[in-house]
Homo-oligomer: A and B are copies of this chain.
């Protein structure tokens, strides 16, 4: 129960911060003209989970402020990668739909990233990466829950 006991959480956050920095920079360097990981992430999310999410749902999924998501979505819309449509179930709300160009953007980004990840796979196997995921995901779920409770 000493302080050093809690130190591993700080170390964990520290490591995660650095990995996030490097990963973001890596991906961003390979995305076309001014597009960011946030854009790529939203499009990927829409492909994985499905179209028609609301901005507030997306903000929750990525744990960013609503205003940030508004900004990101505006950028995606300007590039023609998503379409904002009124939400038939709630007139305050909107729905985000992918366009063909949006899917193409994601496919091309993935293709451009693939060699890099192949190289990475040679140095840190995908099975090792996969093995880390369950604990990471649960840690994420725990602090997510904690965040909700503490407000």
Residues of A within 8 A of B (CB): 3, 5-6, 8-27, 37, 41, 44, 62-64, 110, 114, 116-121, 123-124, 126, 128-133, 135-140, 142-147, 150
In the bound complex, residues from chain B placing their C-beta under 8 Å from that of A19 are 13, 16, 136, 139-140, 143
Interface of A is mostly: helix
B143 & A135 in contact (Cβ 8 Å cutoff)? no
State the number of copies, please: 2
Tell me if B138 and A124 are in contact (CB < 8 A): yes
Question: Are B114 and A6 interface neighbours, CB within 8 A?
Answer: yes
Q: Which residues in B have their C-beta under 8 angstroms from that of A17?
A: 20, 23-24, 37, 41, 62
B residues near A119, Cβ cutoff 8 Å: 146
Chain B residues contacting A140 (CB-CB under 8 Å) are 15, 18-19, 22
